[in-house]
């Protein structure tokens, strides 16, 4: 037994709207992050696996409308939702992922089932839904994923004719005079929702020194149908290996894919022999910015070290060691 057990989570990275830092919105994010950390911490304290802890954390983040995953996911250019998720077990290097699912309530649970019960690693679209259905997973009407805040973000993005990162969209919507005049204006969020990547993720080390990672997202606002980002790609948005680390990313997915960002952290540790901190910082602060990659990641190693670097102004994040109070943060 070790006391290195720890869970870390993120809820997206982006630009902080200094003018609109409303204390109650900030408090709400902290409270949600703390609640998720506490639940996952209990899984670890009870002797549960890192894999179970990250599944639990991401499932709760998917159910929370504040984050761009599951309920609260961003809209595609067609006004629909296409969800991506992935999970990896550092003990066995088993992995599971789904992309472009539209009716599975918790994409991370579908990814977990792919890991556990399929000889394959990833299912997409109709095939992913057929697999989830055969596994008896919970399905919802697509309207379940609708939230008014994301809908307004999407309308703004359409007006601007571009695809928007989730947390890049919310603030923009909140800031228009028309929106501010309305009662239903987006709450002023600490991180500019119009300049934020709202993907969620979790990494953990369990009491037995095994690591796991999970990532889930709605992608980016106004994305083209069928667009798949880094989140469901093992190696880009998610990676775990007991020998090195577990990583979950958030940011401009195309750049994280091109950098194979999550795996690069593990590879640098393995091949360059550097620490978790040095490897993660190199990817986020040096390598991604070379191709204009914006965002961050969370990572743990089997020794219980935790890093949460990001190259944006803020990232919703937190960690909780077993037996200690959860720590949450938004800004630098
Ligand atoms: N990385 C995600 C994607 O490109 C976006 C995010 O992090 O919010 O789909």
Asked about 199 being catalytic, the answer comes back as: yes
Does 20 score more than 60 pLDDT? no
Tens of pLDDT, residue by residue over 146-168, are 989 889 888 888 887 666 666 65
Give ∠ CA 63-210-71 in degrees, rounded to 5: 10
Ligand 1 contact, 169 CB (< 6 A)? no
- Cα of 3 vs centre of ligand 1, distance in Å, is 33
pLDDT at 171: 47
Tens of pLDDT, residue by residue over 186-241, are 445 676 666 667 799 999 999 999 999 999 999 999 999 999 999 999 999 999 99
Does 276 score more than 90 pLDDT? yes
Ligand 1 atom with minimal separation from the 228 CA: 9
Ranges of each domain in the chain: 6-144+193-331
Residues 57 and 194: beta-carbon distance below 8 Å: no
Alpha carbon 330 to chain centroid distance? Answer: 14
pLDDT at 175: 41
- Assign 170 a pLDDT band (cuts: 50, 70, 90): low
The more confidently predicted of residues 270 and 190 is: 270
Ligand 1 atom with minimal separation from the 295 CA: 7
- Cα of 237 vs centre of ligand 1, distance in Å, is 9
Percent of the chain with pLDDT over 70: 87
Q: Of 35-44, 84-93, 120-129, 195-204, which gets the smallest average pLDDT?
A: 195-204
d(CA 24, CA 140): 31
Ligand 1 contact, 219 CB (< 6 A)? yes
Listed residue (260, 178, 187, 198) closest to 21, CA to CA: 187
pLDDT at 3: 67
- pLDDT, averaged across the chain: 90
Q: Which CATH architecture does the domain made up of 6-144+193-331 adopt?
A: 4-Layer Sandwich (3.60)
The more confidently predicted of residues 3 and 67 is: 67
Residue 329 Cα distances to 38, 57, 72, 187, angstroms: 15, 17, 21, 19
Question: What are the residues whose beta carbons fall under 8 Å from the beta carbon of 223, sequence distance 6 or more?
Answer: 74, 76, 77, 82, 163, 229
Q: Nearest 5°: phi and psi at 222?
A: 70, 20
Look at ligand 1, atom 6, and give the residue with the nearest C-alpha. Answer: 197
Look at ligand 1, atom 9, and give the residue with the nearest C-alpha. Answer: 219
Ligand 1 atom with minimal separation from the 198 CA: 8
Tens of pLDDT, residue by residue over 88-120, are 999 999 999 999 999 999 999 999 999 999 999
Ligand 1 contact, 197 CB (< 6 A)? yes
Q: Which residues of 38-57 are buried (b: 16+ CB within 10 A; e: fewer)?
A: ebbbebbeeebbbbbbbbbb
Ligand 1 atom with minimal separation from the 84 CA: 9
* Residue of 15, 199, 217, 221 marked catalytic: 199
The enclosing H or E element of 53 equals helix 50-63
pLDDT at 63: 97
- Cα of 229 vs centre of ligand 1, distance in Å, is 6
Burial-class residue 182 by CB neighbours within 10 Å (0-12, 13-18, 19+): exposed
Q: Is the pTM of this model over 0.85?
A: yes
Q: Residue 19 CB: number of other CB atoms within 10 A? A: 9
pLDDT at 191: 66
pLDDT at 2: 46
pLDDT at 39: 98
- Cα of 29 vs centre of ligand 1, distance in Å, is 19
Does 172 score more than 90 pLDDT? no
Ligand 1 contact, 82 CB (< 6 A)? no
């Amino acid at each position: 037994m070790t006391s290195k057990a720890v869970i870390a989570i993120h809820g997206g990275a982006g630009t902080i709207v200094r003018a609109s830092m409303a204390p109650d919105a900030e408090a709400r994010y902290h409270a949600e992050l703390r609640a998720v950390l506490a639940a996952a911490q209990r899984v670890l304290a009870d002797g549960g696996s890192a894999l179970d802890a990250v599944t639990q954390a991401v499932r709760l983040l998917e159910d929370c409308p504040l984050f761009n995953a599951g309920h609260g996911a961003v809209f595609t250019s067609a006004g629909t939702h296409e969800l991506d998720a992935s999970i990896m077990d550092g003990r066995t290097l088993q992995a599971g992922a789904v992309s472009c699912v539209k009716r599975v309530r918790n994409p991370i649970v579908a990814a977990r089932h792919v890991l556990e019960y399929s000889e394959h690693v990833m299912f997409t679209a109709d095939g992913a839904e057929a697999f989830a259905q055969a596994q008896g997973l919970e399905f919802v009407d697509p309207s379940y994923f609708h939230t008014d805040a994301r809908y307004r973000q999407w309308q703004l993005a359409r007006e601007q004719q571009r695809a928007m990162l989730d947390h890049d969209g919310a603030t923009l919507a909140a800031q228009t005079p028309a929106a501010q005049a309305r009662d239903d204006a987006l709450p002023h969020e600490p991180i500019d929702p119009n300049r934020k990547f709202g993907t969620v993720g979790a990494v953990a080390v369990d009491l037995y020194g095994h690591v796991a990672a999970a990532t889930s997202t709605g992608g980016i606002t106004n994305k083209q149908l069928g667009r798949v980002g880094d989140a469901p790609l093992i190696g880009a948005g998610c990676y775990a290996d007991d020998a090195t680390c577990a990583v979950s990313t958030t940011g401009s997915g195309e750049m994280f894919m091109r950098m194979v960002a999550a795996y690069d952290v593990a590879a640098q540790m393995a091949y360059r022999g550097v620490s978790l901190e040095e490897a993660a910082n190199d990817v986020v602060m040096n390598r991604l910015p070379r191709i204009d990659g914006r965002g961050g990641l969370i990572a743990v190693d089997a020794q219980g070290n935790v890093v949460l670097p990001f190259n944006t102004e803020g990232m919703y994040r937190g960690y909780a060691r077993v037996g200690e109070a959860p720590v949450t943060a938004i800004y630098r």
